[in-house]
Amino acid sequence: DGGITQSPKYLFRKEGQNVTLSCEQNLNHDAMYWYRQDPGQGLRLIYYSQIVNDFQKGDIAEGYSVSREKKESFPLTVTSAQKNPTAFYLCASAVGGGTGNTIYFGEGSWLTVV
């Protein structure tokens, strides 16, 4: 099946720990994104990558890091510097940038700090 796979679906983190969320896509999309969603809120952009080995900060990048070593993979690390990491994290991909290129989403990962 083609699509975007996020793992794990649920993750618990102790304060002070770093955790990494996985995102893999087999759609051959160039662009990939990470969004954060808080309960009852819209999506806020953390990081995005237009092409392999390149990525840019979104609106709320502080406390997060990413890498894009392969076209199909865009892992997100939530570092201990992120003071309020409990949220629903969504990975997405698109054919490319520009008008008319729809962004498609994975099923999300729930991160809870305990």
Site string for other proteins, 27-66 (x = CB under 8 A): ----x-x------xxxxxx--x-x-------x--------
Q: List, in order, residues 6 or more apart from 15 with CB less than 8 Å away.
A: 80, 113, 114
**Amino acid (1-letter code) at residue 37:** Q
Give CA 12 to chain center in angstroms. Answer: 17
Question: Which residue in 63, 73, 86, 104 binds other proteins (CB under 8 A)?
Answer: 104
Which is closer to other proteins, CB of 19 or CB of 90?
Answer: 90
Query: Which pair of structure tokens corresponds to residue 97?
Result: 């940038």
Provide, rounded to whole angstroms, the least separation between the CB of residue 18 and other proteins: 24
Terminal C-alpha separation, the chain: 35
Q: Which residues bind other proteins (CB under 8 A)?
A: 4, 6, 31, 33, 40-45, 48, 50, 58, 88, 90, 92, 94, 97-100, 102-108, 110
